[in-house]
Structure 1
Amino acid sequence: MPPMFRFAAKFALALLVGASALHAPNARAVDEKDLLPVDQAFALSAKAVSRDRIELSWRIAPGYYLYRQRTSVEGIEGGVLSMPEGKRKHDEFFGDVETYRESLTATYAGAVAPTATSVALTVKYQGCADLGVCYPPQRRTIDVALPAATASTGDDIFSRRPDASPLIGAAPTVDAQPLPPEQAYKIEAIAADGNTLLLRFTPAPGYYLYRDKTHLQIAGEGLSLGAPRWPQGKDHKDAYFGDVVVYFDQVEVPVPVGRTHARPVDAQLTVSFQGCQDGGICYPVMSRTLPVSLPAGNVGAVTESAAPSNAASTETSLAEDQRLASRLAGKDRAWTLLLFFASGLALAFTPCVLPMVPILSGLIAGRGGRIGAWRAFTLSTVYVLASAVVFTIAGVLAGLLGAAFNLQAAMQNAWVLGAFAGLFVLLSLSMFGLYELQLPAALRARLGAASDQQHGGSWMGVAAMGALSALIVGPCVAPPLMGAVLYIAQTRDPVLGGAALFVLALGMGAPLIAFGIAAGKGMPTSGPWMVAVERVFGFVFLGLAIWMLSRVLPGAATLGLWGLLALGAAVWVFGIGRTPRAKLAARFAALVFGIVGAAQLLGAFAGGHDPLQPLAGVMGEKREGVVFRRIKSVEDLDRELAAARAAGKPLLLDFYADWCVSCKEMEKYTFTEPVVRDALAGYVLLQADVTANDAQDQALMQRFGIIGPPMSLFFHDGEERRNLRLTGFEKTDAFVERVRKGAAQ
């Protein structure tokens, strides 16, 4: 059992072995892979040899030993535990002790009620490994069936239900042999957020789980658990426990988590539970230990009472990324992966992904030659698969390593963006034929050959461009991406999480394949159109270069470059056209380009930054946006949260970066709306600029388990309202509703 194995390896030295064990002179580092899970090191079983005597047996693995003084049994009033003499030794942990190796058989004797059919024993024991590591004290509850006055029991560890047919004699109610406990009951745990665990029980068909026989404990620095919020179960008349509530089907249980600190923490959740086979045996109380990784959360205690909630209300209380992560952990995973593919299709038409269309079209179009639908399909598929693989790897690493590793953010610096923009400029110059006019013959031949391979359809070239596009031109942080990364971070399952990221990328790439086929099939084979197409793609590549540089250049400089590009296009368009009608159309288009370019240059000189509204500043029509106060570090945030809490105000924390396209969308289309400014009037407004992606930026993002902007977090009374967290761009009306919920008590 890997969870128990990890529990023993991480906490054994720290729990109940004393400071002397931690600082023993002979102590040495022990690899957790060298240790057995505790239930394999000390396998416990029990059987009743008579109504007043129970035999307990431990099978002890080689290299391990049990302490006699640390072994005890409770369950029968006045019961006496008899144990054989052990091997005496002086133990560095407990002094003079007796130990057992290989096996231990003890008897527990005492009088039980004449009508009792079973007895529940609580067995406590502790042991160590010769490697120098002691396991923490173990506690097991075993329900042992008692024989009738004239019958004897076997060594089955299960107890018979009073209302079940006997195993021999009359025909049994349940023909199938009972399943092993691990197959009969599956348990999963995931952190819904820093203050909530989501526990999932899945009984096998024909088995059920007792609600009130389930108990939870958590081992983690500064963590405590509140009352589980069980959904409605089924009322059941039980021969053992009377009127009880049970669950026959999969059930999800949110569990509040209290904490004394806000930072992320790895913990161990121990779940004790009991269940039965319908019409068959009852299992003894079982225990599972599950690893959970809690992201940063809010400091505070949890209440002990909580009303039951159903699955629907649980899901609606989660943010969108949490719902997607929860669905990945659910049983309808195939449908969830299909949902990720559909989400990718929707993301394909956002400003983050659309720039891939001209890149792929230009690579396939090359020098204007028609390559056919099949060739275009294969090249497009290679481009999409390469980008999907790199996108998946980056997302999986972000989920496993957290905000400290964000490859996409690391690629958004001036040097990388400048190099990528330079590549687009070189590609555009080849489209304009300048290689042949300005470069020496030898260099021209090499560049020409490289250009022919790149543009004419080299699989390696297209794959390389697809991989780079996934990191540099690729999608912004969106709820599906965050949902998959959150699932990987919480479950440490890169396979299913990576599959979700991969199908998300395939969804984003599906329209690109369609565009690529159209580009390959629709290109003319020869003639003046070929030259015109080359020139068009030359301007497109220059536009992509400017778009890349806009992430690091001032807005006015970017607007000026757009103006120069428009004027250059006007000059070229003015000279094309062979017929009078074509010339007239070309000169009209040149006039339009010239006016647009001149307006953009004028707007740039006036300090404008919006290519679609270049004269807004000149005409005095600039719209005022929401004014945020910038913070940089975790300490800055804690100080502002304390001040907002003292003032009784809600707080909005917006994560922003210059290279984040969706951040610019929020800034331009949402934060400039008067209704948004009015809704945020009572808020403390903070913005974390994580453009640099330095250590302070990463620490701030890691506190909340996010991988990058755009992200909007809402706080009330100093605590984040996780269900309101916004990932990506949101339109005005929906954002205003979110803001109003964030301000509500």
Structure 2
Amino acid sequence: MRSLPTGLTAMFLLALAAGAAHAQEDGLLPVEQAFRLEAKTAGAGKLALHWDIAPDYYLYRSRIKAKTTQAGLTLGTLELPAGEKKQDEFLGEVEVYHHAIDATLPYTLADAAAKSVTVSLTVQGCHETDPKICYPPHPTTVTLDLAAAATVATNTGPGAGLPPNPLAGNGGGVLASGGGLQLGADAGAVDSAPLPPEQAFVFEAIAQSPTAILARWTMPKNYYLYRDRSKVTLAGGDGITLGAPQWPAGVDHTDEHFGTVQVYYDQVELPIGLLRDRGDAQTVKLHAEYQGCLENGICYPVMQKDVSVDLPAATAEQLAAAKAAFIAAPAESIAAEAAPATAADAAGQERPPAPGSQPSLTGILGALLFALLGGLVLNLMPCVLPVLSLKVLGLAQSGESAAKARRHALVYTAGVLVTFAAVGLAVIGLRAAGQALGWGFQLQQPVFVAVLVYVLFAIGLSLSGVYNIGAGLAGVGQGLSNRSGAAGDFFTGVLAVVVASPCTAPFMGSALAYAFSASSFVALLVFLALGLGLALPFLLVGFVPALAARLPRPGAWMETLKQFLAFPMYLTAVWLAWVLGNQRGIDAIAWVLIGATVLALGLWWWERHRYQGHPVQRVIAVVVILAALLPIARIARLEAPAAHAATSAGVPYSAERLASLRAEGRSVFVDVGADWCVTCKVNEKAVLDTDAFRDLLRRSNAVLMTADWTNVDPAITAFLQDYNAVGVPLYVVFRAGEAGRGHALPTVLTQAIVEQALAPH
């Protein structure tokens, strides 16, 4: 029988969230009543077992197990009758029992004078009508007095009192994944019974200070708690407000349906700040809801527990400090007009719709306009300029005729739009699958960065004349008229989009945030509008004769320009190699340089034997080019280096450290960036890494906090999502003495902007 895939746990969790609260209202029986056990002796060395199964319930034959921990007692093979054949959606063909079962269990005793036998009997079954649920494995400990031949069925096992796991069925069979089946284990065996929830997940809370509470979950080995399925709310307390919980970093757990989520093993402590109206000692009541699983075992239903915490008296100074540092907990549902400020608000841009809402026509048109403007401005960003140098050559070539100018513009635009659509669909699809990704996410992958180094280096070699790619420009004049260049134009459009991803231009942030919260169709329109804005200058040149007439005529000067423009390509490749080194260390730089050298050798050898020489020579060239991929495979196996030490100018980002600095009455300037983000580097050079900005921090009693998103970091990703940012850079200012959320700044900074942001209000 097939074992259940681990990812089916996600389906179980989804149904639990919807059904756990009202399971008993739907008339589900406790497990002991659904499968009632009676046991008695049936002669020497044999036990008789009988289960009464309630109507609309059934038991799995393969999930009925017997074991004992009694010294000297050896159990034989449990003798069960044949069951009814059933085709289970996930388990395949199984046997089940309805109504009742009679079984026998042979045993032997080493001590003939033993007075009793103790056996643990575990069963698992389901409710087959709405609500369709499967229970976790339920153990019952049976102790039989041999002298009195008594029938005793005492439910003292670990499963006693464990509530059923509701699973929403849809149409056909029962979704057995939620019934506590041993996920990833042998479907025919249960290694050990799960602990009851109060032992598997011990929840408690204490007062850390008069204005802070520490909640704590403690789990035995192999049990883990889901972060996004656990929360603490205030159930009672006069004049007290709970702040945002400061979850520590957890362990990434990849689920087939949820994607990568955060879980905690062993123990997790959750600091929660308090906002108090008065300082007298009082008691607050907390309500915790949480969910977790046994590794390779069952997932528990949503558990709930109320605890009381005695708060000591607080001084006026403590209350004031708590108010200054207080960060409000995010509301579970907020009306659009009451939603907190976002990066779009700070830039004076239209707020994207709330997820799941229906965007208005005005909102869609506004998002498309911002996207068009953002794509247009993207042409001026430094990350795009090296690739646009290729387009300069194409425009110069098109100066021969208006028809060629239009063709170049249209093919280049097609490359841009196709690539923007592909990137948009990839981001939308991955986000729908639970991956927290944003604009420029691909540059967090070292393999992609290494491949991009190769591509830009190869383009530079072509421009330098080491080999010819596409139409080439060496033969201007008569030869030029005989070459189409369409493939080169399309590829230039593709490359322009790829290298544009390190940059976030003005207007782009709100447009992309809108795209990520709108329907897939609207999101795709936004990405296409971005592409149209990027290609718009070249479309205008191609279709406006007055502009095309100003282009210089083709000539021999183009070969010199072509060779000169190779050097921006080389410099861009060097920059990307530096990014790769920050992601995977100095060894990654060495490997990518080795690979680029091998690639250059292969391309040079290919060009030497492209038109002349034996075909074996071209085969050798292809083998050498393919060998250049081996260093990339090596880079993929490198581990990320240790985190960079904090510089004297800033401290590394963490939610706990941010709360601590705010509690101290400090203003905090949070800089979320990445080594591959060109806009970030331009802002650093122009504003953040200047004496004027450092002097501003001193005068404002402010702290610079840096969040490095060069590599994937769930904590920083969560911060970006909290401010509706779809990429970096993101700048957020938390002013001293102001509670609540920080103020997001535009993506392109000036000294005046940061002066105003840190000025007292």
Q: The TM-score by the shorter chain falls in which range?
A: 0.3 to 0.5
Q: TM-score, normalised by structure 2?
A: 0.44
Q: TM-score, normalised by structure 1?
A: 0.45
